[in-house]
Structure 1
Amino acid sequence: MPLELIADRPGHAVLSSYQEPPLAPDEIRVQSLFSSVKHGTELRGFRADTPDASDRWDGELRLHRRGESATSGFPRRLGNMCLGAVVQVGAEVTTLREGDRVFAHLPIRETHTIAATRVQKAPDGISPQAIMYWDPADFAVGAVRDGAVRLGDRVAVFGLGAIGLMVAQAARLCGARWVAVVDPIERRRAAALRHAADLALDPVAMDAGLEIKQHTDKIGADIVFETSGSYRAFEDAMRATCYAGTLVSTAYYHGEQGLRLAGEWHRNRIQVISSRACSEPLPQASWNFARIREESLALLVEGHLQADDLIDPIAPFAAAADAYQEIDQHPERSIKLGIDHG
């Protein structure tokens, strides 16, 4: 029987067998070639240690119901994106044929039996690694649009997971003159320097807010992005923002540290924007999430956003469970996990 990567309980990944369903007339069967993980959102669910687990989200009221636990959510499938080859086509499917390479938001498993309308054909010449960055590119494009980066702006990006790395590149595409990045993980800082960053700072070794002020004529960055979900990073991001500047957060914050809103917040008139590209309606009426997804994919296909070297590490499917535990327990050893189905 084929295998899939699941969490059978909080914090524990395992390969588990599943039964392949019969193929419906409007469906295709896909053999997985390459898959990836969404570290931030997905690991929250994997750990089940945030308000999403302890305080049920009420979609109608758009708030957490304190003290009302959500359903357990386990077992749960793991993984976020898959590139595969079509190996079987339903009788009513006319848009695809066996051998076509397709991709979609799908979990990590050996095969997928899904409606043909749920997948897209992979463009010629694009790498599996670039396709895996379609999701983080969506939220990066949304963030730079929300932050309204302009020609000549000085930009700082706090947090260099997949979204942060894409934000740094997207800000440069929007015309940023100078881009600083901040992350405690050296391999992520090195990746940003290869692509878009002028300055990379380790917030553990130095005062990142002070350093950015000193590198910008004591002014600060015009627009600062916080993508890590760390309260400490949010505080440092405020300290790096210029007077009346803009701080854009794409993150979900949790934990017990809390947030200190001291002098930088009280005195500097900082505009804070919560950015989530798929939360609709978007601020600009002519844009929706579908348009953002089209744009982010086009930027990857055209090579304006570069991600070929940003899937790190890459593990074979047989080692997927161990690799998943590794990124959870040792985030310093990864940027974005890729799974090669071989």
Structure 2
Amino acid sequence: MLKQLVAVAPHEAAILEYEDHPVGQNQIKVKVEYAAPKHGSELAEFRGVSPHTTEKYDPEWRTFLKRQENDTYEIHFGKWNLGNQWVGTVIEVGSEVTEYVIGERVCGYGGIRETHIVDAVDNPRLRKVPDSMSWKNALCFDPAQFALGGVRDSGLRAGDRVAVIGLGAIGQIAAQMAKVAGADYVAVVDPIQRRREAALRIGADEAFDPLQQDVGLELKKRTGKLGVDVVIETSANEQALQQSLRGLAYGGTIAYVGWARAFKGGLDLGREAHFNYGKVIFSRACSEPNPDYPRWDRHRIEDVAWDWLKTHRIDCEHIIDLVIPFAESAQGYCEYVDRHPEKSIKLGIAFC
């Protein structure tokens, strides 16, 4: 029997068996080689603290509303296949599929499991992975989109000074994209040493530890008291937002990319925020219409992010860290994603 990684209860994962359905005429079947979970919103679901458990975001009202008894909710412990993206080889092709052939390597969205059957006609979220492309880069397709959205929403311009706060996959990629976009100085901030070191290896100018340093003041010192023009905040931590406001230049912009939980205290908007005309832009690459619509939409963000990953303008070699065998994925997910995120940046799962 085929096997997949399943969330069986909050904070608990297991490898369980599943059966594949027949391949449809517009579908392909893929044997998975590598996969990765999502360390942000998926983790909130895994911990049972997501607002989606009791409410749902209504796109018509554009607000959260209480779930009704007949509302469907896609997260069911005991059935929920954990995971975000995968890379694998096509092993079966439906009769109407013309763009993919057996033996091709592809990347798509879905859980950590041995096979995937996916639509392969007019599916922009299914991508061919050329031989020259690193599988680690391919697995960063999703965070690269949100990093690109954050950089664009920040209004970053050539020559700007930038701070990226939170060095999970999105922050790591955003720091690189800021450099590509022409930032003159990129500082990175995270309490986890391995994440700071990874960001420095792939191009950041300077790294700060918020547990040991007054980050906002340090950013002011490094910029001749002016502060950074742009902050890209991906940690969704209230203390990080406070330091963002403290280190931001007068009239600067914070692109708030992280998916926040309810703040428990520590954010004081009567301090720097009240004096310095800072702007906070809440950035989410998949919310439509895009701020630059119709020139930009989710598909264009996807295309650009994939091209930069494919051509190695972005380097994810040190971002997919650690890599563990699929047989260890249940224990590894709980250990490296849920309980001890300081031991990993973005967890990789190897099937081969």
TM-score range with shorter-chain normalisation? Answer: over 0.9
Task: State the partner residue of 2:275.
Answer: 267
Q: How far did 1:55 drift?
A: 3.4
CA contact (8 A) 1:84 1:102 kept: yes
Measured against aligned partners, the alpha-carbon deviations of 1:224-255 in whole angstroms (never above 9, x if no partner) come to: 11101111111111111011111110012114
CA contact (8 A) 1:225 1:248 kept: yes
Measured against aligned partners, the alpha-carbon deviations of 1:177-221 in whole angstroms (never above 9, x if no partner) come to: 001010000010001101121110000011111111111101110
Measured against aligned partners, the alpha-carbon deviations of 1:129-155 in whole angstroms (never above 9, x if no partner) come to: 010111111111111111121111110
Q: Distance in 2 between matches of 1:10 and 1:72?
A: 15
Task: State the partner residue of 1:12.
Answer: 12
Q: Partner amino acid for 1:53?
A: T
Please list every run of 5 or more consecutive structure 2 residues that lacks an aligned counterpart in the other structure.
Answer: none
Task: State the partner residue of 1:298.
Answer: 307
Task: State the partner residue of 1:77.
Answer: 81
Give the alignment partner of residue 150 of structure 2, picking from 127, 130, 143. 143
Q: How far did 1:19 drift?
A: 1.1
CA contact (8 A) 2:25 2:95 kept: yes
Measured against aligned partners, the alpha-carbon deviations of 1:70-106 in whole angstroms (never above 9, x if no partner) come to: 8482131211111111111223323222111111112
Q: Distance in 2 between matches of 1:195 and 1:217?
A: 25
Q: How far did 1:67 drift?
A: 8.6
2:319 is aligned with 1:315 = no
TM-score when normalising by structure 1: 0.96
CA contact (8 A) 2:238 2:263 kept: no
CA contact (8 A) 2:107 2:139 kept: no
Q: Distance in 2 between matches of 1:225 and 1:141?
A: 11
Give the alignment partner of residue 348 of structure 2, picking from 330, 338, 342. 338
User: Quick check: 8-17 or 208-217, which moved more?
Assistant: 8-17
Q: How many residues align?
A: 342
Q: How far did 1:68 drift?
A: 7.2
CA contact (8 A) 1:56 1:68 kept: no
Measured against aligned partners, the alpha-carbon deviations of 1:277-309 in whole angstroms (never above 9, x if no partner) come to: 110111112111100111011111112111122
Q: How far did 1:57 drift?
A: 2.5
Give the alignment partner of residue 195 of structure 1, picking from 202, 205, 208. 202
Q: Distance in 2 between matches of 1:178 and 1:58?
A: 40
User: Quick check: 7-16 or 116-125, which moved more?
Assistant: 116-125
Measured against aligned partners, the alpha-carbon deviations of 1:315-339 in whole angstroms (never above 9, x if no partner) come to: 1001111111012000111100110
Q: Partner amino acid for 2:62?
A: R
Give the alignment partner of residue 99 of structure 1, picking from 90, 97, 103. 103
Task: State the partner residue of 1:185.
Answer: 192
Q: Distance in 1 between matches of 2:177 and 2:339?
A: 30
RMSD: 1.6
Q: Distance in 2 between matches of 1:54 and 1:182?
A: 33
Q: How far did 1:113 drift?
A: 1.6
Please list every run of 5 or more consecutive structure 1 residues that lacks an aligned counterpart in the other structure.
Answer: none
Q: How far did 1:256 drift?
A: 4.7
CA contact (8 A) 1:10 1:74 kept: no
Secondary structure at the aligned position of 2:106 is classed as strand
User: Quick check: 27-36 or 250-259, which moved more?
Assistant: 250-259
TM-score when normalising by structure 2: 0.93
Task: State the partner residue of 1:160.
Answer: 167
Q: Distance in 2 between matches of 1:72 and 1:194?
A: 39
Q: How far did 1:48 drift?
A: 1.8
Give the alignment partner of residue 126 of structure 1, picking from 133, 136, 139. 133
Task: State the partner residue of 2:119.
Answer: 115
Task: State the partner residue of 2:92.
Answer: 88
Secondary structure at the aligned position of 1:206 is classed as coil
